[in-house]
Structure 1
Amino acid sequence: MRFDVTILGSSSATPIYNRNPTSQALNINERFYLIDCGEGTQQQMLRFDVKPGKIDHIFISHLHGDHYLGLIGLLSSMHLNGRKKPMHIFGPPDLKKIIDINLECSWTKLNYELIFHPLKNTETEVIFENKDIIVQTIILNHRIPCTGFLFSQKKNLLKLNATQLEHYQVGRNQFLKLKQGEDFVNENGERVPNSVLTIKPEDPKSYAYCSDTLAGEAYLPQIEDVDLLYHEATFMHDLLARAQETYHTTALQAGEIAFKTGVKKLLIGHFSARYKTLDGLLEEARSVFKETDLAIEGKVFTI
């Protein structure tokens, strides 16, 4: 199963040095999920071949402009391009007001249904589920209500071994039972172990997206052992006081969080406009967690 994330934007507050405000496209089994939608996101989608028509679910972490100001333009472009499928948006309750007033003042009636899912900021909740994944909120600590998102792949059924099925003359009516882990009993009453007829699937994968937040302990249990963690790292650690004042995280703290939670890989992003180059942030995070990379526009990270 395909499970990867394309970075569309990684800057904090303002676009600068060829870095756009935050946005990511998550591809899970060819179903696309947009995470945050900063200014210029649709241009980035064109640039990196992320097709808007394939996106049916958009997740907005909070209502600072660098995380949602591209949303109205994207929704409008989808309307102008003839979209008919419903669009699901998950975000803070006030985001619905922002969308409604923009559509009202531009006398726009969308061609498609917009289904809004208001998020709580007091407790973790499951906000979406389909046959592939479960999505939960991660309660973060920012200057305004802010949630991260945990995308967890469901456990796959066992795969069938076609050669062995033919050898043991297993009928199609037994396939589902085998996928669910049952043994096969033939007409003579002979039992064939399930392990002979099936192949173990890949382990379920997971992606945690931690948007703007003061580094803390409360959300760490929820992100333990994830395959890929994205965590904001707005400043280097010499600006810890500034990070705490603005409810952000330093690159060193992001590395410490990855180390504490045992994640397999860390991506850092949401870089302050003060940094023209990002080598210092990367080195700082890697000083405590080696498996760290930068969330650079256009890069695709396979989970």
Structure 2
Amino acid sequence: MKIRLIYYLLIFCLSLVIGVGCATQETSNPVAPEENSEIALKDHRLTGNETWDPEKTYIVHGTLEIPQDITLNIPPGTTVKFGRDALLTVRGILKIGTPLDQDRVTQLVHLTSNNVRPTSDDWTGILFDHTHDLESFIRGAVLEHATIALDIKTTSPTVAECTLRQNETAITLDGSDALIQHNDILDNHIGIRTIGRQTRPKIEKNNITKNETGIFCENVQSIIRNNNLNANIFALRLNVKFDLVVTNNWWGNSDTDKIANVIVDAADPVLNIKQIGTVYYEPFANTRIADAGFPYPTLLIDLEE
């Protein structure tokens, strides 16, 4: 009897030990630490195609380079902050925001300064460095506080449904056939600068407003039409000896004298130190072009909250 009792007691004690041991093992599992929400890149050169995570904030210092035959995809919802004088150089393919074959933009990409008190030239900008590709695009993005936000040389990306603000120059088109369409380009020193004569960039249905100079034109082959060009100090400044034809734009009013006052061409010898051509701006829109500019203003409100 005593032997049987001792036997039962041993079994009971053993079961308690096993139970406690199991319970301890279950509660002692370590909790995986949360992944860092920021990714810092300093003088980084891509070695393969990359798609960034929209849940993270990317902070670029120095130069970020996309080599030839490499693609960087920055999807909607991504924030990229650039340190002082940081530069994104594109020699491959850059895809920012919502693909062109999708119906509408639902989230923005934010490309901005990493400075807590940003100015209009905090970071250098995005340089398309003679890539000659036709696949790059920027759609549904806010670009701000750069020296030249988009410096596009001899390539022709589409820039659509974006806001470019508070830059020294928003867009420079040098030997480019780029399509610049449905953007808000405001509060820059220069909105768009065109250079070269062998290409025909299309600048259509944009709000180019509240800039010191809306368009600084050295490429008279540029197609500039159906834009709102109001509230700039100078809406358009011609800087070559050839004439320029720009039609069906809204200049802020229908008074030809007032329109002429915001255009710098051969009629303004005091403002010019060299021979330049004449801007022919008629016919012009008599009212603001309603469907020009960035079509998703509520997304900007969401971005700034």
Asked if Structure 1 and Structure 2 have the same fold, meaning a TM-score greater than 0.5 normalized by the shorter chain, the answer is no
* Structure of greater relative contact order (alpha carbons < 8 Å, 6+ residues apart): 1
**Relative to total residues, which structure has the larger strand share, 1 or 2?**
2
Structure with higher Rg: it is: 2
Q: How does the TM-score come out when normalised to structure 1?
A: 0.28
Q: How does the TM-score come out when normalised to structure 2?
A: 0.28
